[in-house]
Amino acid sequence: MSEHNVGSMTGRSRLLAAATGQPVDVTPVWFMRQAGRVLPEYRALRERHPFLEVARTPELATEATLMPVDRFGVDGAVLFADIMLPLDGMGVPFRIEPGVGPVIEQPIRTAADVDRIRVVEPEEGTPYVLEALRLLRKELGERAALLGFAGAPWTLACYLVDGRPSREYPQTKALMYGQPDIWHKLMDKLTTTTIAYLRGQIAAGADAVQLFDSWLGLLGPDAYQSYVFPYTQRIFAELRDLAPTIHFSTGTVQLLELIAETRPDLVSVDWRLPLDVAWNRLPPGMGIQGNLDNSLLMAPWSAVEAGTRDILQRAGGKPGHIFNLGHGLLPQTDPDQLRRIVEVVHGSPLG
Ligand code: CP3
């Protein structure tokens, strides 16, 4: 459980210190997709309630969010929700197909489709998300920082335009390259919605927010700069000084400097670059999150431990590192690996 003895800081102050480039007692740690998937107590909850019901019911979302905090003593509690939930407010019906992922009934492909998307405040579109955050902020106290999040406009557009998970998102790219006017209108609406959504989350109690741009690795630097960068930059500009921000993507070694130019407080990187190499490509003072290979957790503990210690050594005790995976936990992960990773990260003296 979470009672293992750590240093002198609380989980919340430790994570927030790292997120603002301040010194910490030991490295803060949390795991992307920690709130579901690998926990037997989550599976039991899911036997009683469908996924979207858990996500849309504040008391149930709170329960799922707290599970990994209680069990592993992580320093961050990521809200149990999904990047697709703002579609409720946009008036775009979707479902989550087990083993497949998000599916949109009527994909967004034309100017008329984009015009129909509603732009609303989260109090109207997703009030249950804000209520869950209010409950969680009270429940958590100083144990852990509360992390809000949103899908980034590019990644949301991939689902909205292609309509379902895909390897290449060809329809999305066809719209982007072929009908830039419609594309920019869509991205503008998604950006405005995302800013309101994240501002609402911060006002409701989120201590920091992460922007998930999961499919960004599909873009080269020119396309990123023309079709996505301005929107990401606008999001971080609008959130600056409200709460620390984390940019997440995977497979983006070709974009790292450009991502840094969107000016989040931290950049979450995957395992495709060693942590120190990635960090050296970010501007001075920018933090980094990562970057254990989520598949390495399938290997025996000795390999996981070596990978964990390697990352800590490459971070070198410098302020501004949050330990995490490079991408979300895989469903077949043994929860005991997570407990042991937290033990090593929290047990490692800095510097
Ligand atoms: O720690 C957490 O689990 C926090 C909550 C969370 C979920 N989704 C819950 C969820 C978070 C942070 C997400 C983000 C999310 N959702 C992303 C970005 C992160 C990433 O991995 O890149 C993306 C791309 C999605 C879209 C999405 N929703 C996918 C790909 C899936 C998985 C489909 C599957 O069956 O594997 C979902 C559904 C989803 N979101 C589940 C959970 C717990 C599974 C639903 C279930 O329990 O059946």
Closest CA to 218 of 283, 157, 150, 281: 157
pLDDT of residue 4: 53
Mark the ranges of the chain whose per-residue pLDDT is less than 50: 1-3
Catalytic residue among 12, 14, 37, 234: 37
pLDDT of residue 6: 80
The pTM score is 0.97
- Which ligand 1 atom sits nearest the alpha carbon of residue 46? 47
Active site residue 272: no
Distance in Å, CA 318 to ligand 1 centroid:
31
pLDDT of residue 1: 46
pLDDT of residue 5: 60
Catalytic residue among 12, 14, 75, 82: 82
**Region at 205 (left for phi over 0; alpha for psi -120 to 50; beta for the rest):** left
Residue nearest to atom 21 of ligand 1 (CA): 328
Residue the block writes with tokens 């003895």: 5
Closest CA to 32 of 266, 302, 289, 346: 289
Active site residue 82: yes
Catalytic residue among 56, 71, 88, 159: 159
Half-sphere exposure of 171 (CA within 13 A, CB side): 14
CB of 18 sitting under 6 A from ligand 1: no
CB of 149 sitting under 6 A from ligand 1: yes
